[in-house]
């Protein structure tokens, strides 16, 4: 569950992409976590329908978005 002051930064179709972004964010000092409704990995097919989200603090949005944009441009 997302708390007040938090936001979903990106939603992916699988856990691997979400974990890669999570690692980049954490290495930049941005606190984040992953949310998914796939029965703790027992039903990974639900990742395709429900998605896998990366949650950050709203205060970190600008810095986190810069990292996402750099990744999309192939800079990281």
Domain hosting 29: range is 6-72
CA distances from 75 to 26, 44, 45, 71 (A): 17, 30, 30, 6
Domain-located, residue 22: yes
Domain-located, residue 11: yes
Is residue 36 very low, low, confident or very high in pLDDT (cuts 50, 70, 90)? Answer: confident
CA distances from 74 to 22, 39, 66, 68, 69 (A): 17, 33, 12, 10, 9
Instruction: Supply the pLDDT for residue 75.
Output: 65
Domain-located, residue 1: no
* pLDDT tens digit sequence for 45-64: 555 556 889 999 999 999 99
* pLDDT tens digit sequence for 3-23: 899 999 999 988 899 999 999
pTM: 0.83
Domain-located, residue 33: yes
| Tokens standing for residue 70 | 């750099």
CATH number at residue 12: 3.30.70.1530
* Count: domains in the chain: 1
């Amino acid at each position: 569950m997302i708390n007040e002051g938090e936001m979903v930064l990106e939603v992916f179709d699988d856990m691997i992409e979400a974990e890669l972004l999570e690692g980049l964010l954490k290495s930049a000092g941005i606190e984040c976590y992953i949310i998914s409704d796939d029965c703790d990995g027992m039903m990974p097919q639900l990742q395709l329908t429900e998605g896998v989200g990366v949650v950050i603090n709203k205060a970190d949005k600008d810095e986190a978005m810069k990292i996402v944009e750099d990744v999309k441009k192939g800079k990281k």
